[in-house]
Amino acid sequence: MAQLILASASPRRRELLAQIGIGLEIKPVDLDETPRSGESPRDYVARLALEKAQAGYLAGGETLPALGSDTAVILDGEILGKPLDEEDAVRTLLRLSGRSHQVMTGVAVTDREHSRVEVVITDVSFAPISESQARAYWASGEPADKAGSYGIQGLGAVFVESINGSYSAVVGLPLAQTAAILKEFNIKIWQ
């Protein structure tokens, strides 16, 4: 039985919520994800998460709380979005090569009474990546729809030397923080 509306088409977020026992109704929303002028990466992911939750709440007929989330990869203060094409993905992966970056994931839950937003920041360090590795990774199809052109839960894991923070947030949803927020909305997780 549905306890929550997930305002996302992301199979990763759906799987993460199912992992903690949340019954979902899926209501993907389509929003303009362009960063605003002068908007910090933290404010950007928080705003998008909240806008998605609000749109999902309306799309669900205002009957269940809705969850929205957004993940961005940040390098040198710049938001690295989903790749436009192979060349963009290869360029991004070579920029991340041998360096550390941040993954910021905003999660928001809203209902008729209130909204709650939290941003989780995880530091990720990459091993060196050659251009041929980046191109082979692109050919796998995995990075095409991923912020920063990689997925830590898939083949892209071979690039990751270490993380400091929430693994599930890098996948797309910080589970510990999400569970705490859901409790505020009286949504029972598996516990």
Handedness of CA 188, 63, 60, 1 (dihedral sign): positive
Rounded CA-CA distance 73/175 in Å is 18
DSSP letter string, 123-136: EEEEPP--HHHHHH
| Residue 167 structure tokens | 């693994």
Three-state DSSP state, 169: helix
Cα separation of the two ends of the chain: 17
Residue 138 sits at φ, ψ, to 5 deg, of -60, -45
Residue with tokens 């749109």: 55
Active site residues per annotation: 70
